[in-house]
A and B are shown apart, each in its own frame.
Chain A
Amino acid sequence: MTVADVKPSHRIVGEEIVRHDAVEKVHGRTSYAADAALPGMLHAMLKRADVSHARLRAIEIEQAKAIDGVVAVLLAEDVPNNRIWVDVPGQTVEVGALKAFQNVLADRVVRYHGEPIALVIAESEDAALAAVDAIEIDYERLPVIDDPVRALEEGSPTVHESGNLLTEWVLEEGDVDGALRDAPVVVEDSYQTQFIDHAYLEPEAGLAWLDTDGVIVIRASTQVIEHFRDVARILGVDDNRVRVIAPYVGGGFGGKEDMTVEPYLALAVRRTGRPVRMVWSRQESLQARQNRHAVRMHYRTAADEQGRLIAQDIEIVSDGGAYAFLSALVLLYSTTCAPGPYRCPNVRINSRVVYTNHTPCSAMRGFGAMQVALAYEGQMDRLARRLGIDPLELRRRNFVEKGDTLAIGQPLPTHVALPELTEAVEERIGPRPVPSSPHKVVGRGFSCNFQSYGRCVWLDDWSSAWIGFELDGSLVVRIGVPDIGCGQASSLVQITSEVLGVAPERITIHIGDSALNPLTGTTTATRQLYMSGNAVLKAATELREGLAGVAAELLATETEDVEFSPNGVHPAGEPERVVGFAALIAACARRSVPWQKLSVFNGPKGVPWKADEQWRGRVLPDFTYGCHAVDIEVDQDTGHVRVLRYVAAHDVGRAINPASVRGQIVGAVAMGLGQALSERVVFEEAQNLTGTFAQYLIPTAVEIPDVEAIVLESGEGLGPFGARGIGEPPVGPPVPAIAAALHDALGITLTATPFTSERIAIAIGEQNRAAD
């Protein structure tokens, strides 16, 4: 029996069960990374660069070391291998050209404001803080590079010796110049997005200690327990001497995909042999952690009179900040998704990501695919206005369909529900609102998007899961999934319960431990339900197969005839003739039939990407599609935008827990609205000025309206029971939807996020002056 053959009753898959972790959390019982402590524990803290680009002439640490309670101060030369390799962490070893690194502690040069220079280890946080303040650094200032376009100019100063160009993707399909020349309609514009912080409520934190056999254990807030390998490389020990545990994480959104506290904790434990805790301040989290890439885009889009796309000519320049991290992959996602979910025969894309002295950029929910939605949807709206066609109708004339191939060579293997999604939001958004006062106007905007779930196919992604019964008939799931708040663990329990019948209350899931759990890969790339869900489904299905045979024997029936239910196993239609799980496991033991199963699920494979303009192929497993609609009210005097109503529809294939699915959609909409309207990381000469939540404005309950999530279930997805991933995709449409609504309300085209009150008020003023 293969996974595809399982025809579950959907007894519990599709039910809105209460997540077991939610109960613990609302009690306040969940132990997050910073909540754990050990006797004799030391405290570690980083001295970070105060400037954005400088040579380190001298680092004076003697005064710091003399402070009472300071145990050690480490510098670059104290790190065995002072390199953090970023080669797409997790289940893979080779990514070739996408390999990048940064220093654990700054080595001779600092390239961004906040770069770690020295690691202080002390008996108390107060002593550590005093020591950080006492470290004197003699900087030789270097020219600051804070504009990615100027950074590419001939003669620009450089961030790294290799030059400022980090990665470039170039591709052309068809004859773009010819099509643009001959097309009846061409629309053209430039778009720009800002730097965004993840702004999870839980700052980066961890506790580490030395365990038996010389194993360093790091219990940290992370999306990737497989970083144990990266830590081992830094320490110069075998991979199996480092163990990473991820407790429930207080928000990730991609910001805990790269390592945070892990290498510093490991170095401190190695140096002292004592337990060490490190908790970053909000200021460190906001100023010194990776951001979402700020992207500049220029689009020329050609269409025929009916609005069918003929050509897209796309240029992208992305600001990667001071170190590469995952920039190359983020840009690949931008490049793959740049034309939008629209058919187009002639496409040219030139995308570049550039080093600057800004805070490094890396993964964030939406991962390059969300920024380009502002541009491709802006172009569709512009085209619709030029041709006098309804914006959703224009999109419908161009939607990709199942079986199509994107310009980069990416096939679309499953159902594309965009037509149904547009109909659903049009119907639900309802009648147009009326302005609440004479100086206010209302506007409505629509947008569509698509984003992948699962990792690049050439990474040979895999997940593994272990499921086993206890002798009393309760069930255990072991899987190395970090749960970052989306219900990863709970959904896996639900899938297990569906297949094996055992009630969720009788299932315990052990997660997030690189030593004691089967590894299952990163909680990133909208991949956990897809990959880990399939691994759990496979393990449960294979386990069930063996148990069903024994049960059939006990029940004197056929294997195909047995049903698994919360009380045990019974012949179909005869629930009273049940064998309890404890009795069944005892029977298995007597027959030496295993009641435990370890299974591996492999994702689709692909041809590795090469640095070659001719390369075409499948980049990602599959996509999740969406359509959003928003109504806003704009105060024409102040430019203030109030979001009145929001509807977001996505085809999730199959909703394992619809409440969790809606939670992902609504939460992502709020994050997207923050990007559209208020959030921005502000730099001056590459100095990060947004170090508090009073300066970096994420939306509060007042700014976000009631968001209605529409969950479509096409049944076509590559995940368990036909599920698609939903964690990241809904963050894309809010920005273009707000841009469209602003144009609808004011007749003004705004192309640079965030659309703050100031920017809107200035644009209204310019429009009024032009009209005078």
Chain B
Amino acid sequence: MNISLRLNGTPVDVDVPPHWTLLRTLRDRLGQTDVKHGCGEGVCGACTVLLDGVAVNGCLVLAVQADGGDIETVASLADGDTLHPLQQELVERGAVQCGFCTPGMVLGALEATRIGAAADRAEIRRSLAGNLCRCTGYTTIVDAVEAYQQRVANEVSP
């Protein structure tokens, strides 16, 4: 089936079998390998992408369901080599170890911040419950999201 997407700002048309997920389409048809396949069952969050601004598990969305949608992956965040402030906080706080959960974690955290679901550490933890990490123990990730949230809050009300 033919579908049209906006992928990180660029319009793309792609022909996919009807049973293919958005995750599989992004990785195997569109070469978007910054989206990771961790479990394929909607639990680990490694395949998190923003679909029309909402964080979804790419493995639980069929490609055809995303037809006409605007997809953002982690690759869209940096400005060339200049990291997005949230990405910068993550690397500076040692919140990236194996890095496999990181792309999904970044997008999950970004959405939580955007919708105001990251007001304090407990809220950040709840917001990240759908993004599993086996390496870091989460503490530094929460640190980074908290610092980013404060940065955003300061920009809004200087």
Contact = CB atoms under 8 A, between A and B. Distances in A.
Interface of A: 16, 18-19, 21-32, 34-35, 37, 126, 198-203, 248-253, 279, 281-282, 484-487, 659-660, 662-663, 666-671, 692-694, 698, 700-702, 704, 706-707
8 contacts: A281-B40, A692-B39, A693-B41, A698-B134, A700-B130, A702-B125, A704-B138, A706-B142
B124 interface: yes
A707 to B, nearest CB: 5
A29 B77 CA distance: 12
Contacts of A16: 94
Chain A contact residues: helix, strand, loop or mixed:
loop
Given A201-B100, A704-B137, A706-B121, 7 more contacts: A27-B75, A202-B98, A282-B38, A485-B100, A670-B137, A701-B138, A704-B138
A482 to B, nearest CB: 11
Interface in B62-109: 73-75, 78, 83, 87, 90-94, 96-103, 106
A484 B103 CA distance: 17
Contact of B129 (A202, A663, A701): A701
B44 A701 contact: no
What is the size category of the interface that chain B forms with chain A?
Answer: 35 or more
A700 B132 contact: yes
Nearest to B106: A26
Contacts of A26: 74, 83, 87, 90-91, 96, 99, 102, 106
Contacts of B35: 28
B37 A279 contact: yes
B39 A693 contact: yes
Residue in B102, B121, B138, B142 with the greatest tally of chain A CB atoms within 10 Å: B138
Contacts of A252: 98
B138 A663 contact: no
Contacts of B139: 666, 704, 706-707
Contacts of B133: 201, 701
A59 to B, nearest CB: 27
Q: Closest 7 interchain pairs by CB?
A: A28-B34, A485-B98, A25-B99, A250-B100, A670-B137, A659-B94, A693-B43
B43 A694 contact: yes
A19 B74 CA distance: 19
Contacts of B2: none
Contacts of A35: 27, 33
Contact of B100 (A22, A251, A692, A694): A251
Contacts of B137: 666-671, 704, 707
A32 B36 contact: yes
A702 B134 contact: no
A32 to B, nearest CB: 7
Contact of B38 (A27, A37, A201, A670): A201
Given A23-B83, A701-B129, A692 B97 contact: no
A222 to B, nearest CB: 13
B41 A694 contact: yes
Contacts of A30: 99
Contacts of A24: 99
B140 interface: yes
